[in-house]
Amino acid sequence: MKSRTTRHNVQDAIEKVIQKLKLFRETPPTGLAVFCGAIPYGPPGSEKMEIYVVIPPRPLDIYLYRCNSRFHVEPLLDMFKEKETYGILVMDNSGATFATLKGRHLEIVKSITSGISSKHRAGGQSARRFERLREAEINEYYKRVANYANQIFLGIPDLKGLIIGGPGPSKQYFVDGDYLHYTLKNKILAVVDTSYVDEQGVKEIVRRSSEILKDVRYVEEKNIIQQFLAEVGKDGLAVYGFDEVKKSLEAGNVKTLLLSEDLDLMLISVKCSNCGYSENLTMKPADLVKFEFDLSKRQCPKCGNQGLNIVDRKPLIDFFTELAEKLNVNVEMISSSHEEGEMLLNSFGGVAAILKYKG
């Protein structure tokens, strides 16, 4: 290593890892992942040595030592990938929508229209002939739906099941007929009624199949946020925002802590070297350099001297998860890939809690 600073940081990191490993009498059953390095928080010289220890949820099957400019977390991330996928088909005689639900990700794969002629109002032989033609169109449309379903869902190796829905009887005629590949037919978990055949219909299926999909993270997260919103609506067991959630955690009154995965804020602790005055602020990482520059010129509100310094900086998510872990509080990380997750992030600041009792 040509850079003396880099060499010093690496040596310091190795020493910290050795000290941390001494706290473990034996290797955990699933292995151990240790990440240590000098993390920059601004220009050169702003680095802070940090160490993170992770006990994987499942056994590690690799040994990896890397000295690099980034943490290699890919083996751990792979453990958290959702393995099971559900297929969703919503249809009637006007069209069909195909979707997949994997973990917290709901994807609309394809939408088609049927092209079926509207019902004929005339009487006599003309009406009967038209009805026969229409039945043929419906049959061809069902075959087309089945072909798309086979193409989309049979190619998914970890397909857990298929849920079919839609308004009216069309979906049941389709299921009862000899259209779907037998593999998919054997994977049908439910046939449910919906009001729509578009994306709204897909979401209806997910909502009405909550018991079947209860272990899918997408459904779990939506239910958790709905529970929180219900408490907010009745002015009940819910708080949100940094100050209120921190206060409730420290009082031991939090049942479930809700954090948005996209919460991109730092918690900055400032202290005066002259009088001991301290304060905590939250800000985006991009604003930190300017804040630190302005802080050097700012007077302490208590003693009036220019002695304010940043004594600690930490991602807000880390602050709350560490505090919750100390207090044995359940933490739910919520994705913003669905409406409820967006609401947590944008309307409630990405930090909220369901309380044990009304304070």
Together in a domain, 41 and 52: yes
The residue assigned the tokens 């997260």 is: 221
What is the per-residue pLDDT for 25? 87
Together in a domain, 110 and 197: yes
State the CATH number of the domain containing residue 23.
3.30.960.10
pLDDT band at 117 (very low <50, low <70, confident <90, very high): confident
> Could you give the C-alpha distances from 36 to 20, 51, 73, 123, 339, in angstroms and in order?
10, 4, 12, 81, 36
Strand pairing category for 159-166 and 85-91 = parallel
pLDDT band at 329 (very low <50, low <70, confident <90, very high): very high
What is the per-residue pLDDT for 356? 94
Q: Which residues contact 302 (CB under 8 A, 6 or more apart)?
A: 272, 275, 277
Together in a domain, 39 and 103: no
Lowest mean per-residue pLDDT among 42-51, 272-281, 293-302, 337-346: 42-51
Per-residue pLDDT at 65 exceeds 90: no
Together in a domain, 359 and 220: yes
Domain that holds residue 30: 4-79
Last residue of a domain, one of 215, 237, 255: 215
What are 217-227's pLDDT values in tens digits? 888 899 999 99
- In the chain, what's the furthest Cα-to-Cα distance? 100
Which alpha helices (H) appear in the chain, and where do they start and end? 4-21, 74-79, 124-153, 170-176, 182-185, 199-208, 217-233, 242-250, 288-295, 316-326, 339-347
> Could you give the C-alpha distances from 35 to 80, 157, 183, in angstroms and in order?
18, 34, 45
Together in a domain, 205 and 294: no
What is the per-residue pLDDT for 121? 56
> Could you give the C-alpha distances from 104 to 111, 160, 216, 219, in angstroms and in order?
21, 15, 7, 8
Together in a domain, 271 and 339: yes
Strand pairing category for 188-193 and 159-166 = parallel
Q: Tally the domains of the chain.
A: 3
Per-residue pLDDT at 21 exceeds 60: yes
Last residue of a domain, one of 180, 215, 250: 215
278-283 β-sheet, strand order: 278-283, 266-272, 308-315
What are 253-287's pLDDT values in tens digits? 999 999 999 999 999 999 999 999 999 999 998 89
Amino acid at 263: L
Please state the rounded mean pLDDT for residues 78-101.
Answer: 90
Q: Are 20 and 51 in contact (CB under 8 A)?
A: yes
Together in a domain, 243 and 209: no
- The token pair that represents 297 in the structure block: 């010129």
CA 47, 53, 56, 60 torsion-angle sign: positive
Please state the rounded mean pLDDT for residues 63-89.
Answer: 83
Q: Are 221 and 258 in contact (CB under 8 A)?
A: no
Together in a domain, 229 and 345: yes
Residue of higher predicted confidence among 181 and 31: 181
Give me the percent of the chain exceeding a pLDDT of 90.
63
Last residue of a domain, one of 215, 245, 269: 215
pLDDT band at 96 (very low <50, low <70, confident <90, very high): very high
Strand pairing category for 254-260 and 351-355 = antiparallel
What is the per-residue pLDDT for 2? 64
Please state the rounded mean pLDDT for residues 203-223.
Answer: 89
Give me the percent of the chain exceeding a pLDDT of 70.
96
Q: DSSP string of 258-321?
A: EEETT---EEEEEEETTT--EEEEEE-GGGHHHHHHHHTTPPPTTT-SS-EEEEEEEEHHHHHH
What are 27-53's pLDDT values in tens digits? 888 888 999 999 887 777 778 899 999
pLDDT band at 122 (very low <50, low <70, confident <90, very high): low
State the CATH number of the domain containing residue 224.
3.30.1330.30
Per-residue pLDDT at 194 exceeds 90: yes
